[in-house]
Amino acid sequence: MTITHRTTGCARDLVMLLTSHRERAMTVDEGPGEQTSSPVTLCVNEFAGSVDGPVLQVGTLHGGVHFRREREPLVPRQLPPAPKPFTGRDSELAGITTAVDEAAEADATMVISAIGGLAGVSKTCLALQWAHRNADRFPDGQLFVDLRGFSPTEKPVQPAEAVRGFLDALGVTPDKIPVDPEARTGRYRSLVADRRMLIVLDNARDTDQVTPLLPGSPNRTVLVTSRRYLSGLVASHAAKPVVLNPLTDAEAHQLLGPAWVLNGCLPNPTR
């Protein structure tokens, strides 16, 4: 039996329809006194149902019809734990939020906040604090990578290696990850193109290390931390720079507690 079937409907109803056609095909009347089970060509152009699904086209059908539900996309949650305790940085946190909100209202391109400052001013803590506070903005997941741009003991992460880690987190099996770096980046960008995701690129060395990790589609949010002012990101990708300075005495007092002041480790901000 040869059947051509297009469906946008329910799999159960389709199976019932095909079963009915097969039973009819076995007893087709070709004239007085004759019945045959010869192949019959049937054509069903449209079949409506209540559930959307892929278009199915069947040639010669042998045996049963089986449907397999498509696997749900993996939702990565790669953020390290939020730093505790955390204090201060209210204006910087508000600045990142404002940039994201303005971009969303204008349906603008992706927001890149480049958080820069000297070593030890809590750039990573700021990025993670904002990311955890705003995780509900990104229902399709969060990606995180330490690029080790200024690690004293390890070499900086190559962009292709970082992309491979993202593909792993997105559920791509090793045999499906392209070997060519450009193809690998293209695969990564395709997977995040229609997803509301946050991407945190921590401890970046320079713009060249970051660029292959940027999504190619709009309405994405990327947080980048670096000791350097990444002027290339600002010039080429309209990144919003956030420069961190050391905590004020009052903020340090709030963070470390009164005991540190009493022991003489910190100046008393009330004096």
Task: Tell me the pLDDT tens digit for each residue of 13-27.
Answer: 665 666 666 666 555
Q: Round to whole Å and give the CA distance between 200 and 197.
A: 10
What's the whole-number average pLDDT of the chain?
A: 77
Clarify whether residues 99 and 183 are in a common domain. yes
Clarify whether residues 58 and 106 are in a common domain. no
Clarify whether residues 4 and 109 are in a common domain. no
Does residue 55 carry a pLDDT above 50?
yes
β-sheet bridge partners, residue 241: 114
Q: Is 78 inside any structural domain?
A: no
Clarify whether residues 149 and 198 are in a common domain. yes
Q: Is 174 inside any structural domain?
A: yes
- pTM for the full predicted model: 0.69
User: Are 142 and 79 in contact, with CB atoms under 8 Å apart?
Assistant: yes
Q: Which tokens in the block code for residue 109?
A: 């391109």
Q: Round to whole Å and give the CA distance between 243 and 32.
A: 92
Q: Is 268 inside any structural domain?
A: no
Clarify whether residues 145 and 234 are in a common domain. yes
62-87 pLDDT per residue, tens? 666 555 555 677 899 999 998 887 77
Clarify whether residues 106 and 231 are in a common domain. yes
Q: Which tokens in the block code for residue 183?
A: 């193809």
Q: Is 14 inside any structural domain?
A: yes
Q: How confident is the model at residue 269 (pLDDT cuts 50, 70, 90)?
A: very low
Q: Is 258 inside any structural domain?
A: no
From residue 41, give the alpha-carbon distance in Å to each of 22, 23, 60, 202: 11, 13, 9, 62
Question: Mean of the pLDDT values across residues 127-152?
Answer: 96
Q: Which tokens in the block code for residue 83?
A: 């730093």
Clarify whether residues 241 and 108 are in a common domain. yes
Clarify whether residues 138 and 194 are in a common domain. yes
Q: Which amino acid is at 157?
A: V
pLDDT value for 44: 46
- Of 31-35, 80-84, 124-128, 264-268, the range with the lowest mean pLDDT is 264-268
Clarify whether residues 137 and 208 are in a common domain. yes
Q: Round to whole Å and give the CA distance between 185 and 263.
A: 53
Q: Is 144 inside any structural domain?
A: yes
Q: Round to whole Å and give the CA distance between 83 and 223.
A: 16
93-119 pLDDT per residue, tens? 999 999 888 877 765 556 778 888 777
Q: How confident is the model at residue 46 (pLDDT cuts 50, 70, 90)?
A: very low
Residues 6+ apart with CB under 8 A from 67: 11
Domain count, the chain: 2
The CA radius of gyration of the chain, in Å to the nearest whole number, is: 29
Backbone angles phi, psi at 136, to 5 degrees: -70, -15
**Range of 123's domain?**
92-245
